[in-house]
Structure 1
Amino acid sequence: MSTNKSVSLLKAVKPYKQGWRIQVRLIHSWRQKTIYGGDSLEMIFADVTGDKIHCSCKRTYIQRTQCDLRLGEWHMIDVFSLSNATGQYRTTNHTYNQIST
């Protein structure tokens, strides 16, 4: 049985569906520590069309993610969830934020 999933563009991903597969390039990353959220790894990804999305990595996955993702390299990501991008500080124009799990 084939398990090939088609690759979606960032503008197509929506939170109502699971199982998206995206091909993105890491263009920026930083560590962030907040009082209410703790330590997190924040990243900006871009797809082949230039659309960008902000991604937050949970504390338990920071070490593995930092080792696997290199700046400027292309990556296939298929395990993530989306949430609405709200608030005063938005790093991209994308409607949603990606949360790596």
Structure 2
Amino acid sequence: MAAMNNVSDLKPFKSMWKVRVKIIRLWKQYSTASGETIEMVFVDFRGDKIHGTVKKDEVGQFVHVLQQGQTKVLFLLKFFLFY
């Protein structure tokens, strides 16, 4: 099993991450360009925060398992850096 990473460790050049985070903010968003998405703000145990998105094609799979205030271990296959 992969070691746990911190939010501050995340880099876009690596393709597999395992992070334990709390969902501190969660909302659904709709736009004509991207459809319905689930938007979240996560925080790790060190207090580092990061934004995450569930794309429209996967909303149905995750809408009932993600709740604000929950702590989750996430396995991330891709990480994109936006400025």
Same fold? TM cut 0.5: yes
More deviation in 77-86 or 5-14? Answer: 77-86
Q: Can you list the C-alpha shifts for 1:31-80, whole angstroms capped at 9, x where unaligned? A: 11112212111111110011111001011221221211222121011134
* C-alpha distance in structure 2 between counterparts of 1:74 and 1:16, whole Å: 26
Aligned identity (percent) is 25
RMSD: 1.3
What is residue 51 of structure 2 aligned with on the other side?
A: 54
What is residue 43 of structure 1 aligned with on the other side?
A: 40
* C-alpha distance in structure 2 between counterparts of 1:82 and 1:63, whole Å: 21
What is residue 6 of structure 1 aligned with on the other side?
A: 3
What is residue 27 of structure 2 aligned with on the other side?
A: 30
* C-alpha distance in structure 2 between counterparts of 1:55 and 1:80, whole Å: 13
* C-alpha distance in structure 1 between counterparts of 2:29 and 2:46, whole Å: 28
What is residue 96 of structure 1 aligned with on the other side?
A: none
* C-alpha distance in structure 1 between counterparts of 2:25 and 2:77, whole Å: 18
What is residue 75 of structure 2 aligned with on the other side?
A: 78
Which structure's relative contact order is higher, taking Cα pairs within 8 Å and 6+ residues apart? Answer: 2
The unaligned stretches of length 5 or more in structure 2 are none
The unaligned stretches of length 5 or more in structure 1 are 87-101
